[in-house]
Amino acid sequence: MTLRFRTTAHKQCLEITEEVRAVVREAGVRQGLCHVSVLHATAAIVVNENDDPNIGVDLLTALDRAIPDHAGWLHDRVDGNAQAHIKAAVLGPSETIAIRDGDLLLGTWQGIILVELDGPRAERRVVVTIVPGV
C-alpha cells in the first residue's frame, strides 16, 4: 500500500507510526514483517524515539553539522540539494519492523519517522509492504 504525506518544512521529521500501524491492522497479518520505504532520494525512513519531538530536531541538527548545505558538493551544480541526497543515503530509505500479534513490534518509545530533507513537498510517497508468516 502507498501512503502519501505532505511535508511543511525544508527539513522535517514526521511521525507516521499510526498510519503504518493502520495498514498492518487492515492486512490482518498476525505474525510477519512490515517493510516501510520512502520512494524519494531526498527523504528517509528511520525508527527512533517518538515521545519527544526534540529528537527529530536534534537529528536534523546533527545531520546539518555532519553534512552541511552547499559545502562544495558537486551535485549542487545540478539543483543545489546535494546535502539532502547525502543525508538520505546515510539514513536510508527504509526500515523493516516485525509484526507480532497483529501489531508493529516497536519498543515503548519507538516510532516510524519520515525524514524530509528537501521540502516542503506536496507529496512524499511511502510504500508499506506486509510479509506474512515470518
d(CA 84, CA 67): 9
Q: Find out whether 5 and 69 touch, Cβ atoms under 8 Å.
A: no
The model carries a pTM of 0.96
Strands (E), the chain: 2-5, 12-15, 32-38, 43-49, 94-100, 103-104, 110-116, 124-132
Tell me how many degrees the CA angle 40-43-48 measures, rounded to the nearest 5. 135
Q: In the predicted model, what is the mean pLDDT of the chain?
A: 97
Q: Find out whether 21 and 97 touch, Cβ atoms under 8 Å.
A: no
- What digits encode the pLDDT tens for the residues 17-66? 999 999 999 999 999 999 999 999 999 999 999 999 999 999 999 999 99
Please state, for a pLDDT cut of 70, what percent of the chain lies above it. 99
pLDDT higher than threshold 80 for residue 134: no
What's the confidence (pLDDT) of residue 125? 98
In the chain, the N- to C-terminal Cα span, in Å, equals: 19
Q: Average pLDDT, stretch 116-122? A: 97
Q: Find out whether 11 and 119 touch, Cβ atoms under 8 Å.
A: yes
Q: Domain 2-132 adopts which CATH fold?
A: Jelly Rolls (2.60.120)
Q: Where are the domains of the chain?
A: 2-132
